[in-house]
Structure 1
Amino acid sequence: MTPVFKQLMQAIDKAPAQGSDTLLCDSQLLGFDTETTGTRAGKDAIVSASLVLRDPAAGYQGDVVGEWIINPHCAMNPKASQVNGFTDEFLAQHGEEPTEAVDQVARIIDAAQTKRIPLLAYNACFDIDMLSADLKRWGLAPLAEPLVVDPLVIDRAISKRSGRRTLEYTTQYYGVEPHGDFHDARADTVAAVDLIKPMSTLYPQVGKISLDELMQWQRSAFETWKESFNEWLSSKGRRPVTDTWL
């Protein structure tokens, strides 16, 4: 049992269970982010993962953080390596075995879910798909269907601004100051969690979403965005997207 695993599990154990009527603005959150060998779940793998337990009453200073560097036992895509800075040599020397590290990440997420603490990830489908694929790859227990907060889905629904919606651009829009460099799993996780407070301030309807409403609200928001985006793609003679949200 690694120290970060023990620390996060103890913090979750001490956290009060949240009710279905808990509002997003008041909810504890478990931020999640990964860096990977590439973008294809099942073929590529996680090389870095970060979990950040956030109590909104305590804010950033009260965060409980866990970080893992993982030996994926497969090669880095050179383009991914350029983005996240990881190399095959570094991961082979410093990475934990995935059977232990990936299992710890999943067990912490499952523990938080029993307290109805949502898993928050920016573009959540990517990170959850990567984790699910790695769990399958290493013969580990799958995740239960999680309660999720996706700031990207929320932002598309409430902000009609034009331009890119990467995590970096979105944090700039909401006035979030990053704690570290982007494409570092910990810095990205904290930045994504930090978005909920200004989103709830600028758009009070976001903060008033209850945990019971959360998943359906985001699924509906994603479908509305997809319909609009596909209309734009069609106007450009491009193929529509067929993705679904969680």
Structure 2
Amino acid sequence: MREVVLDTETTGFKPDEGHRLVEIGCIELVNHVSTGNRYHVYINPERPVPPDAAAVHGLTDEFLADKPVFTDVVQAFVEFIGDSKLVIHNAAFDMTFLNWQLKECGYPTMPMDRAIDTLAMARKKFPGSPATLDALCKRFGVDNSGRTLHGALLDAQLLADVYLELLGGRQAGLALAASGTSKGGPAVARVDRPFRPARPHQPLAEELAAHDGLVKALKNAMWAQE
């Protein structure tokens, strides 16, 4: 089962107000385990980055000036995600931006139910508790000490760990990582055990003699009665 953990950075909150993507980061999971395969790109939004947005992700006009525009990277992005489920924290935000810019480039948009929203998962599992990515990292002991600024690839890596914990913990992922796959069926964990030869069960002559003596010594045995 392939999934793609995805995060984006943008110039603002609403694409219909002219805001655009400036970064996309993706991490590939197979059976909830990271394969090491990833997609990451910085994007020239073809508009100024507001100071408040730059303060969040650190991506300035100067840094993005020589980066490709979305039309130059959209094909590689679409090919990377394929038809896999997308794991996103606060999925409505990222999906809205992605679909807006996919539509601008003439690509099909993605249905919202394609996304697995980890924000919704966290709120359901821990009602009333903080559900930001930082809060979930703290809850699950995921090291986010390098997250001084938001960054799409780093946040996707952190989210991959958080997602695994939301599913039930690292044990599930480790079991699947060591699994073999049965033909036509789900992955089955393989356990290696040392070879043990069969133990002999045929009684010895002295054991038979002792048993025979015991039987003869019994009085009024049920099987001897008619």
Identical counterparts, % of pairs: 27
Name the structure 1 match of 2:20: 45
1:72 maps to a residue whose letter is P
Gaps of 5+ in 2: 170-226
Query: Is the 2:103–2:109 Cα contact (8 Å) retained in structure 1?
Result: no
Matched, 1:148 2:150: no
1:34-68: CA deviation from partner (whole Å, max 9, x where unpaired):
111111123200011011101247x34x3211110
Amino acid at match of 2:101: D
The secondary structure found in structure 1 opposite 2:121 is helix
Question: What does residue 144 of structure 2 align with?
Answer: 178
Aligned length: 167
* Higher RCO, Cα 8 Å, sep 6+: 1
Q: Structure 1 unaligned segments of length 5 or more: list them.
A: 1-17, 19-27, 203-246
Give TM-score, length-normalised by structure 2.
0.67
The residue that corresponds to 2:74 in the other structure is 102
1:90 alignment partner in structure 2: 63
Deviates more, 1:66-75 or 1:96-105: 96-105
Pair 1:32-2:25 in alignment: no
In structure 1, C-alpha distance between the alignment counterparts of 2:151 and 2:110, rounded to whole Å: 27
Displaced runs of 4+ in structure 1, greater than 4 A?
none
**8 Å Cα contact 1:37/1:80 also seen in 2:** yes
Superposition RMSD in Å: 2.2
> Separation in 2 of the partners of 1:177 and 1:153?
22
Q: Give me the TM-score of the superposition, normalised by structure 1.
A: 0.62
**Structure 2 residue 92 is the aligned partner of structure 1 residue 136:** no
Q: Which has the larger radius of gyration?
A: 2
Q: Give the AA of the match of 1:96.
A: P
Judge conservation of contact 1:103–1:140 (CA < 8 Å) in 2: no
Q: Aligned letter for 1:128?
A: M
Query: Counterparts of 1:87 and 1:50 in 2: how far apart (Å)?
Result: 18
Q: Name the one with the larger helix percent.
A: 1
Mapped partners of 1:141, 1:79: distance in 2:
30
